[in-house]
Amino acid sequence: MRSVDQTVSTGDLPEWDRVKAFVDQAYRHSLDVHDGAVTTRIPALSQADPDLFGICVAEVTGRTYGAGDVDHPFSLQSISKAFVYALVCEAVGHDVVMDRVGVNNTGQAFDSVMAIELNDGHPMNPMVNAGAMATTALVPGDTPEAKWAFVQQGLSRFAGRDLRLDSEVYASEATTNQRNLAIARLLESYDRLDVDPVAVVDVYTRQCSLLVNAHDLAVMGATLADGGVNPLTGEQVVPASACNDTLAVLATNGLYERSGEWLFEIGVPGKSGVSGGIVAAAPGKGGIATFSPRLDTAGNSVRGQRATAFLSRSLGLNLFASKVHPHSRHR
């Protein structure tokens, strides 16, 4: 199936002046939302200012526009899962990743142990912690440091600049990640990891602790949206096939147990993280990133969801939207 040529036509974003106006409107539209709470799961993240809020759109042509706190740094957290998955899809291939990690929604929380046990130790998809660690275990490299270098360099290529580790967040997570260590040990007991589970958790914790801002994240989303080509650097970061796989998984699993609601209401592949970031990628058009630390009970930014929904409708991004053709014979 992969060898068949495909015709791809996804349309374009509106005129850029309209895009900028819609971003400003989305910002104002969501600014008065104060629902949700900053995460307390990771001590270093619990200190975030709950009123921070930024939105950025990056077009596949390289144009970007943002409103609010677009330059404020925050850690990638679970959003890193999407981009490491894309890198691994290129490195080891579609079939290996499909077999080892899976693509189906668990219907459970992102750190569920029950989901592993109910599926004979098989991670269900790469956007929950079990699947993400199984993905990180497939990263090329003979040592943990080599694997970490691959991840850091790869995610930096997605962003178009060197990303650095937030040492405070990393240390905070490393002292509170007992559940992830338990999940990794469980995967090992089912022969789902071929490398040291403690080392896998450490690399995974570091990838979650990389610092980005909303501008970076929008560019990363636009890279996925443009067949793996970074719109700022012009570099082919991953092949289009890896983007295809990643966007498909994001569409069904990107917002944890609320993924169905996200796809139904917003209709764009997306991924959230507990630091308050959300990235969405509209194939052929561009990426949207939002940052706001107030989260719902599933760990998704409340303002981010509202702003992305507004932009999806305004910019015509919903993958499932259609209208009657003027020459339809059924009229």
Cα angle value 10/85/189 (rounded, 5°): 145
The CA-based dihedral angle spanning residues 163, 182, 128, 30, taken in that order and rounded to the nearest 10 degrees: -70
Strand pairing class (211-212; 74-75): antiparallel
**Are 282 and 14 spatial neighbours (Cβ–Cβ below 8 Å)?**
no
Tell which residue, 124, 256, 129, 113, has the closest CA to residue 205: 129
Residue 252: which H helix or E strand, with range? Answer: helix 240-253
The CA-based dihedral angle spanning residues 294, 302, 210, 132, taken in that order and rounded to the nearest 10 degrees: 120
- Alpha carbon distance 213, 25 (integer Å): 20
Residue 261 phi, psi dihedral angles, 5° rounding: -65, -40
What residues are paired with 67 via a beta bridge?
55
- What residues are labeled active site? 78, 81, 204, 256, 274
**Are 320 and 267 spatial neighbours (Cβ–Cβ below 8 Å)?**
yes
> In the β-sheet with 270-272, what is the strand arrangement from edge to edge?
64-68, 54-59, 286-291, 277-282, 270-272
263: number of Cβ within 10 Å: 21
Output the six-digit token pair for 78: 């679970």
- Alpha carbon distance 268, 257 (integer Å): 16
Helices (H), 15-166: 16-31, 80-92, 94-101, 114-117, 129-137, 144-159
